[in-house]
A and B are shown apart, each in its own frame.
Chain A
């Protein structure tokens, strides 16, 4: 296990290297000039040249690439072209807010998704299953944008119990709507997958064995069925959480949530290269770590995977 983790962590280095290189090249090819974001509606060529020199954009590509790598290994991601702030400061300021939103959304998605999926698989009430499956189909199809505005309308304008938008220092009242909005699509997928997992597992041989041994239904469900059904759930959590952490732009825009996603999109629109590079690099690291955790947790949930490496 330790060796497994260590190998995976070491693999981050070539991945990051590749990410930096690809991002660098892509931004060269993109039309649009970072300097244009800085000059406003009226400008002269001399100002463009001067700003380009100040931002270091007049140096050849290879030079800029090497300089960037050299600074990046010292964790110096440069300064924003537009604001002049160090990129690490901007990311450090925004990421915790995105993490809070992502974590809450994931928690809601897993808790309600698994519960709903389990409920839907309950043989005693098949109509519950059909209702829930219809509901999850809607849930997966609803655009985040529309759902967010709908929730604002219901809870803020109509019922008047929650604020429409904002960060509010991360307090629960402000977190609730954006977290629910973000969690919806994941919640729906998790519910569907949990239901299938429960239905499949219920028919497996080992379940019949457990029942034959005399285990109560609750123990069967909790100990055996759930663990098996969780594997695809963990997969979904891994992929979705990774994308939440890189910032869910639509949710953040609708709710005015000052997170990483909006920062990235704004930087792309303004061709703010250092921020784009730094944020993409940071996101890549996050994805690798999250995937690693997902893979490790497979080992804990499914003993077959854990022992597979050892015995052979």
Chain B
């Protein structure tokens, strides 16, 4: 009886195997994986990574990021800026939505106004905030004149009250995706499930929780070389790795602990600094962290290099400032906080805490965060600061941090666009305290005026001079324990050609890749 069941079992396995190939896709589709399902494909409501990525694959923007972070025309074939930096002219020709209808300048204007419209209630309306009249219109004044006009079918004019040289970058964000405004308004929330865009891809099907299928949009400004993309939703990293190994995925994000296994993959391992900074925010309104000396002492108490080496497997670069290296236009910043526990302890004593004190450091559930904070806890303990690690799930964590409840919190900040402005202004301008991005509640009128002055300049090098000064002040005031800039690693399948790891996440729209 046992023998018979063994044979039966083997036969069953063989039947399953014969039912089709066990691994490897022989088709011409690009196979990608998403960790979370997009919540919507409507640019006005796409706030998470998956939604933003999908929205940018489907919708064209006036200008778009290349993988290297530079801007190129997308829906707009070219653009000019007036000498005073207050007027932008975009030339729109030849762009078409995936249903064949033309994208005219008036259509683009309607789409941008929709983003600002209070009835849309888009959480990303701030992308167009520099536009003249935008704030008033969004606040609910329907007659406020908004500086978005289309004098003819091929020209779109955007007017500002003050120069904002990062405006083209804002217009390249997924939120500024050009939608057919009338269609989107008539469908309301349902537009997010059946979008129509002028981007390189159009949505063919969306099986909830399972996969999305995109097909090449032949009307796009730059139609892709690949016919179709299949994006499967695979929440578990180990499963994604297994799928890549059997050949079911063409691109894989390599988790840092797996690096050694993949380093020997040869030329196919791609690595690069992300436009992202990890930090421990210190609530500058809560004693004893309201004392600058205390915050500086905390920075000197932690050995960042050791944590990077042992906890992150070397996959990060120490942050001596705020702006990641790829965005700097000059030399790296001076290191203000060498690892010096004795100096830290004496600074703490000078501030009135010779015996240290107790604080709570909050984190979201995340294995890596846990390991990092345990190390930090050890270093802080050595100088008398007893840190208690508090773990909360995402929603509760976010609510508490934005309200200013925790003493300290472990977070990272991802760039929306490759510009130092996107690191300094949301994180340290006093106007953004709380939910705006400045979660340390840091206030410095000097930093505010430097940032405001930089916004008025259009030359990137001149702006950098001011940003660098602001960064130096922020670093000296230590509203954070400055940690690192993470390095990102990806592997591509052997059949994928032409893939370049993008500097900003929506800079890679898979238009220039091909499958062997």
Partners in one complex: yes
- Scan residues 214-239 of chain B and give those whose CB is less than 8 A from a CB of chain A: 232-236, 238-239
Residues of the B chain whose Cβ atoms lie less than 8 Å from the Cβ of A31: 392, 395-396, 399-400
Inter-chain CA distance A162–B248, complex, in Å, is 12
- Scan residues 312-358 of chain B and give those whose CB is less than 8 A from a CB of chain A: none
A38-B45, A153-B242, A254-B236 known; A45+B210 contact, CB < 8 A:
no
Binds B, one of A58-66, A81-89, A197-205, A223-231: A81-89
Chain A, residue nearest B414 (CB): A41
Contact between B16 and A263, CB atoms less than 8 A apart: no
Contact between A258 and B16, CB atoms less than 8 A apart: no
Inter-chain CA distance A156–B243, complex, in Å, is 9
Whether A78 sits at the interface, judged by CB under 8 Å, is: no
Whether A213 sits at the interface, judged by CB under 8 Å, is: no
Inter-chain CA distance A263–B394, complex, in Å, is 16
Chain B, residue nearest A83 (CB): B39
Chain B, residue nearest A145 (CB): B236
Residues of the B chain whose Cβ atoms lie less than 8 Å from the Cβ of A156: 22-23, 242, 246
What 0/1 pattern do residues 142 to 174 of A give for CB contact below 8 A with B?
Answer: 000000010011001101111111110000110
Inter-chain CA distance A247–B414, complex, in Å, is 33
Whether A219 sits at the interface, judged by CB under 8 Å, is: no
Contact between A83 and B238, CB atoms less than 8 A apart: no
Contact between A36 and B13, CB atoms less than 8 A apart: no
Whether A26 sits at the interface, judged by CB under 8 Å, is: no
Contact between A164 and B242, CB atoms less than 8 A apart: yes
Residues of the A chain whose Cβ atoms lie less than 8 Å from the Cβ of B435: 39, 42-45, 48
Whether A232 sits at the interface, judged by CB under 8 Å, is: no
What 0/1 pattern do residues 88 to 99 of B give for CB contact below 8 A with A?
Answer: 000000000000
Inter-chain CA distance A39–B47, complex, in Å, is 7
Whether A256 sits at the interface, judged by CB under 8 Å, is: yes
Contact between A161 and B47, CB atoms less than 8 A apart: no
Whether B393 sits at the interface, judged by CB under 8 Å, is: yes
Tally of contact residues, B, Cβ under 8 A = 60
A253-B236, A256-B236 known; A172+B396 contact, CB < 8 A:
no
Residues of the B chain whose Cβ atoms lie less than 8 Å from the Cβ of A253: 235-236
Contact between B437 and A157, CB atoms less than 8 A apart: no
Within the complex, which residue of B22, B40, B124, B236 is in contact with A162, where a contact is CB–CB below 8 Å? B22
Within the complex, which residue of B17, B47, B210, B399 is in contact with A167, where a contact is CB–CB below 8 Å? B210
B53 to chain A, nearest CB (A): 14
Tally of contact residues, A, Cβ under 8 A = 57
Residues of the B chain whose Cβ atoms lie less than 8 Å from the Cβ of A258: 207-210, 233
Inter-chain CA distance A84–B45, complex, in Å, is 11
Within the complex, which residue of A37, A39, A161 is in contact with B17, where a contact is CB–CB below 8 Å? A161
Contact between B236 and A47, CB atoms less than 8 A apart: no
Inter-chain CA distance A149–B437, complex, in Å, is 38
Chain B, residue nearest A41 (CB): B437
What 0/1 pattern do residues 386 to 406 of B give for CB contact below 8 A with A?
Answer: 000000111110111010000
Contact between B121 and A161, CB atoms less than 8 A apart: no
Whether A33 sits at the interface, judged by CB under 8 Å, is: yes
- Scan residues 9-29 of chain B and give those whose CB is less than 8 A from a CB of chain A: 13, 16-17, 19-20, 22-23
A32-B399, A38-B47, A256-B239 known; A47+B123 contact, CB < 8 A:
yes
Within the complex, which residue of B124, B207, B210, B246 is in contact with A157, where a contact is CB–CB below 8 Å? B246
Residues of the B chain whose Cβ atoms lie less than 8 Å from the Cβ of A166: 210-211, 232, 234
Contact between B121 and A269, CB atoms less than 8 A apart: no
A19 to chain B, nearest CB (A): 22
B190, B236, B437 interface centre (most CB from chain A within 10 Å): B236
Contact between B121 and A54, CB atoms less than 8 A apart: yes
Inter-chain CA distance A136–B192, complex, in Å, is 48
Whether B461 sits at the interface, judged by CB under 8 Å, is: no
Whether B446 sits at the interface, judged by CB under 8 Å, is: no
A112 to chain B, nearest CB (A): 11
A183 to chain B, nearest CB (A): 15
Contact between B123 and A39, CB atoms less than 8 A apart: yes
On B, residues with C-beta under 8 Å from A are: 13, 16-17, 19-20, 22-23, 36-37, 39-40, 45, 47-48, 118, 121, 123-126, 138-139, 188-190, 192-193, 207-211, 232-236, 238-239, 242-243, 245-246, 248, 392-396, 398-400, 402, 413-414, 426, 432, 435-437
Nearest 6 CB-CB pairings of A with B: A84-B189, A258-B209, A32-B395, A40-B47, A164-B242, A161-B17
On A, residues with C-beta under 8 Å from B are: 30-33, 36-48, 50-51, 54, 79, 82-85, 90, 93-94, 149, 152-153, 156-157, 159-167, 172-173, 176, 253-256, 258-259, 262-263, 266, 269-271
